[in-house]
Chains A and B, each alone.
Chain A
């Protein structure tokens, strides 16, 4: 069955430290891949997307993600987090319908 897995439910990181959020997918082919962020009470905001080509994708707010076909992964990274990065992060795959992972909550401590 097709699925999107975000193994980490909650991550706490210090301000200024690096952040990596994991995402694995199970699909027959390479789907389109997305990362969204959702702040409390807010809608979903697109951080970045991968369709094809360069496997390292740059997004907004200093985020980047790397697609690894061999590992069926699309991990999100940020070199230095800011307190405003505290939010819920969702990985999503588009195989003619957009399916989301369960999300990872990021807490940033001062």
Chain B
């Protein structure tokens, strides 16, 4: 089966600019996650969707980050305006159900550098 697709792979932007990342999960996976992984740290959950509804966005900096999953399939994560500390790898993952007994599949990530 196809994996979780993410684009772009790399992005370099200046601070205060905006950026968007795209994720297409595995077909049929109801739950989609966005993680932020800062260099040297473990991934941190930003937002979790169940179909097209938000389950958990408690760690999403809502003043600058937004995410949507309009049709319950692919998703977009946006940062506006970006700060230097947003430099990180942004990982998308999906699972069949909310508690990933069926397993989680991660995409390769988007590496964002803010200069």
Using CB atoms and an 8 Å cutoff, list the residues of chain A in contact with chain B.
Answer: 4, 32, 34, 42-44, 46, 49, 51, 90, 92, 94, 96-103
Contact = CB atoms under 8 A, between A and B. Distances in A.
A42 B100 contact: no
Interface of B: 33, 40-45, 48, 55-56, 91, 93, 98-101, 103-104, 106-109
Given A32-B99, A43-B109, A96-B99, A102 B48 contact: no
Contact of A102 (B42, B100, B101): B42
A98 B93 contact: yes
A42 B107 CA distance: 9
Contact of A44 (B40, B55, B91, B99): B91
Tell me whether chain B's interface is mostly helix, strand or loop, or mixed: loop
A55 to B, nearest CB: 17
A32 B101 contact: yes
B100 A100 contact: no
Contact of B103 (A42, A43, A49): A49
B66 to A, nearest CB: 19
Contacts of B42: 4, 90, 92, 100-103
Nearest to A91: B42
Given A99-B45, A103-B42, A94 B100 contact: yes
A98 B44 contact: no
Contact of A97 (B45, B106, B109): B45
Contacts of B104: 34, 46, 98
Contacts of A51: 101
Contacts of B109: 43
Contacts of A34: 104
